Structure formats: structure tokens, C-alpha cells
Chains A and B, each alone.
Chain A
Amino acid sequence: MDALRGFALLLLWQAAGEAIAHGLGVPVPGPVIGLLLLLPGLAVPAVRRVVGAAADVLLAHLSLLFVPVGVGVVTHLALLSQYGLQLVVVIVLSTWIGLAATALALRALLPRAAPGQEPPRG
């Protein structure tokens, strides 16, 4: 029941975010405004309990939510076959550059971690 209540609250926050984005013409996606509005709300323990339960369920299965959009690839096969090789090069290289830039920047910015860490496996 908690998760269901929390889900209703998440939808209400999203609706508020969409209303602000479209009503006031804020150039930020509605759910992002909803996320910002949610943060002060989480200071309330009752909100935290139900929203936390719903968020844990939604975020645990986050990758499922990308499947419908991902299948949309089939509608762009012409473009993808025309520019396929270029797109592969662009997407792979820029993802590696993004990963490396974030990781190296964060490692340089954080204080040295304690020695004796587990070996990497993921």
C-alpha cells in the first residue's frame, strides 16, 4: 500500500512539474521540475516512507522502462543504415570520453580513498 500511495504522490509531483513547465514556459522538462519540488517534500517522514517505497520499486526496474523507446529504433532504420558507421563511432567514442572524463575528474577532486579496497568486478 505504501508503494501505491508513494506512486500517486510521484505522479502528483510530476503533474505539478508539467504544469509549471508548460504554464510558465520554463525550458526544463516537467519531471525534472517535479524532482526539484520533491526534494523539500522528502523532509516530511510520512512522505519519505511512501515515496521511498515507490521509488525503490520504480528505480529497481528502471531499465525495463527504456525498452519501448529503444524498440523505436525500428522507425529510424533508414537513417541508421545511412549513417550507421558514423553513429556507432560517435556514440561509442563520446560515451567513453564522458565516462573517462567523469571518473578521472572525480578521482582527482575527491580526497584519497582509504587503501585496502575490494578488487573491481563490475
Chain B
Amino acid sequence: MAEFVQLWVYLSSTPLFGLTATLATYVTAQALYQRSGHAPWANPVLWSVLAIGTVLLATRTPYPVYFAGAQFIHVLLGPAVVALGWPLWQRRIELRTRGAALVLAALAGGVAAAASAVAIGWAVGLPPEVLRSLAPKSVTAPVAMGIAERLHGIPALAAVFAVLTGMVGALSGKYLFDLLGIRDWAVRGFAIGTAAHGIGAARALQVHPDAGAYAGLALGLQVLLASFLIPLAARAFAAG
């Protein structure tokens, strides 16, 4: 037993632990998600986060120890954001013909999400640094962190809010769209890419190719719009 504990202490302190735990958990969660027929509640990010978080808390493993290994997956978010240029380029014809409508819709959704988050957060009495971390929550996590930093929010918290937003969108998008009578796959995909970024887009990709393509397009557009507009809006708000 003592040897087992020693072995665990050794293994859990190497970067191998965080990397293995992340990949093995995700692959398992993904397999269960597929078996469930891509049910929204079986979202693999949600269950991976819950499972790994529970293990860290139960074994009293500090997050930095986990992250020492998980960072090798985390750094891939940078090139993944750059790679969003690819779906944008593939859909350049749609962008050219439907560009104005898409940009306007992305603006409407992005502004509605950010403004309602800050307004509702303020109304329920959240402290200012939490509000500043909430503003970029509809943008994909790595970019949300960058924006929160510029707004003097808490980048790690912004990333968590962004991930939670993506999960809410991926979990409930279907029901909301059905309720609103929105059947066009392009519109559904675009909305989920705008308001629920990468996690929503990942779900859209699995559900329908048109929804996936438009979600990727929306994700790219939202990243561009939010990166330029949220800091500007915050500056205008602070000055006025």
C-alpha cells in the first residue's frame, strides 16, 4: 500500500499525469458521447472537466501540477485560432454574397451576449473584476483570456466563463432553436458559433455539415469582431 502511494505521488507529479489524464478522459468521454447519439447532455468537454476536476480535488493535486502536463494540449489553442482562417477561406463565396448579413448578425449576437452578461451581472451584484471577465465570454477561450487581460479582468476566470458559455450553448442550443422555430442549418450553426464559440461549433460540426461550416465561419468572425470591438467599447465606457 505504501509503495502504491509512493508510486502515485511520483506519477502524479510528472507532466505525464496531466497529459495522460486529459487525453484518456477526453477519449473516453468522446466515445460515450458518440454512443449516446451525440446527446447534448453527454457533452465531452463537460464530463472531462467534471471527471478531472473531481480527481484533482479528491487527490489534493494542485492545478499547476495538472497543468504542467495539460499545457501541451492547451498551447494548441493558438494554432487552432489561426486555423479558423481555413473555414473562413473555404466559405469565402458565402462571405462575399451573404457577408453583410453575416457580419451584422454576428455583431447583433456578440453585442447582445456581452452586453446582457455585463448588465445582468451588474444587476445581481457581481464585483467589477468578475464583470470585466464576463464581457468576452462568447469568444473562444484563448481569445477571451487575451481580451480579459486588456480589460483588467481575470484571464483564468474569463476562460472558465467562456468554457461554461460554450457548454450552455452546446447543451441547450437545440431546444432554444426548436422553440424559436429556426430550422435552417446555416442559421443554427452560425448562431451557435457566434454565442457559444468553439464548444458550440464542435457540436454543430457533429450534427450537420452546413451547421458546422457556418459555426466555423461564425467562430472566426466573432474572434475578429470581439478582439477589435470589446476593448474599444470598454475604453469608450470608461471614458464616458
| Residue in chain A with minimal CB distance to B72 | A68
**B112, A42: Cβ atoms under 8 Å?**
no
A contact residues around B182 at 8 Å (CB): 103-104, 107, 120
**B76, A58: Cβ atoms under 8 Å?**
yes
B contact residues around A4 at 8 Å (CB): none
Instruction: Report how far A47 CA is from B177 CA in the complex, Å.
Output: 38
**A28, B168: Cβ atoms under 8 Å?**
no
| Residue in chain A with minimal CB distance to B174 | A122
B contact residues around A24 at 8 Å (CB): none
**A106, B112: Cβ atoms under 8 Å?**
no
In the complex, A117 has a CB within 8 A of chain B: yes
B-contact bits for A72-100, CB 8 A (1 contact / 0 none) = 11111001000100110111111111111
Instruction: Report how far A48 CA is from B83 CA in the complex, Å.
Output: 11
A contact residues around B162 at 8 Å (CB): 69
A interface majority secondary structure: helix
> How far is the CB of B132 from the nearest CB of chain A, in Å?
13
A contact residues around B207 at 8 Å (CB): 121-122
| Contacting residue for A94 out of B18, B57, B137, CB 8 A | B137
**A68, B74: Cβ atoms under 8 Å?**
yes
| Contacting residue for B86 out of A52, A95, A98, CB 8 A | A52
**A98, B195: Cβ atoms under 8 Å?**
yes
Contact size class for B?
A: 35 or more
Instruction: Report how far A120 CA is from B207 CA in the complex, Å.
Output: 10
B contact residues around A13 at 8 Å (CB): 82
A contact residues around B188 at 8 Å (CB): 103, 120, 122
**B124, A86: Cβ atoms under 8 Å?**
yes
Instruction: Report how far A66 CA is from B166 CA in the complex, Å.
Output: 10
**B194, A110: Cβ atoms under 8 Å?**
no
Q: Which residues of B line the A interface, CB within 8 A?
A: 18, 22-23, 25-26, 30, 38, 44-45, 48-49, 52-53, 56-57, 63, 66-67, 70-71, 73-74, 76-89, 98, 100-102, 104-106, 108-114, 116-117, 120-121, 124-126, 130, 134, 137-138, 141-143, 145-147, 150, 156-157, 159-166, 168-169, 172-174, 176-178, 180, 182-188, 190-192, 194-196, 198-199, 201-208, 211, 216, 218, 220, 223-224, 227-228, 231
Across the A-B interface, the 5 shortest Cβ-Cβ residue pairs: A98-B113, A102-B109, A122-B207, A98-B195, A29-B146
